[in-house]
Amino acid sequence: MIIDAIDNVSLYSSLGPRIGAALDYIVNTDFSSMATGKHHIDGERLFAIVNEYQTINPTEVELEGHRRYIDVQYLVAGSELIGYAPLTDQPLLKEYDGKEDYALYRGEATYVRLSAGMFAILYPHDLHMPCIGEPPTTVRKVVVKVMI
């Protein structure tokens, strides 16, 4: 997992052409009034999901993991905690769903705060629990899905 401020994005563009394209899209797009939902950048190889939601209690979410996509999560507005754990031998709660590209796991997580202007790059071996915050606050976030 990589977490940093968008001001430092140039440090990560060399991680691969699609990750570079995802970061470039984030830097050059005004998400403040973009409609929520899925926005194609390069078909199913690279697309963005714009979300706006209320943060939730950590007891309401489990660790999730992906296989086909890397997540590049960017906070446009608000602040949330994201739980993180490296994928090891955590008990599987929900079998992998290939259509939605996720499985759910039970386990302990370390929490990091993401604030507006920050991003996280989450690889398939990075289990994560996004959307956490107490008290609930409104967050606007973009998740760019980068096909592996």
Residue 65, domain CATH: 2.60.120.370
Work out the number of other CB atoms within 10 angstroms of the CB of residue 130: 24
pLDDT value for 43: 96
Mean pLDDT of 22-33: 96
Q: Which residue has the higher pLDDT, 13 or 65?
A: 65
Range of the domain at 25: 2-147
In 3-state terms, what secondary structure has residue 58?
helix
Side-chain-facing half-sphere of 79: CA atoms under 13 Å: 6
- The domain tally of the chain equals 1
Work out the number of other CB atoms within 10 angstroms of the CB of residue 100: 8
Residue 134 predicted with pLDDT over 90:
no
Q: The pTM is what?
A: 0.95
Mean pLDDT of 11-21: 94
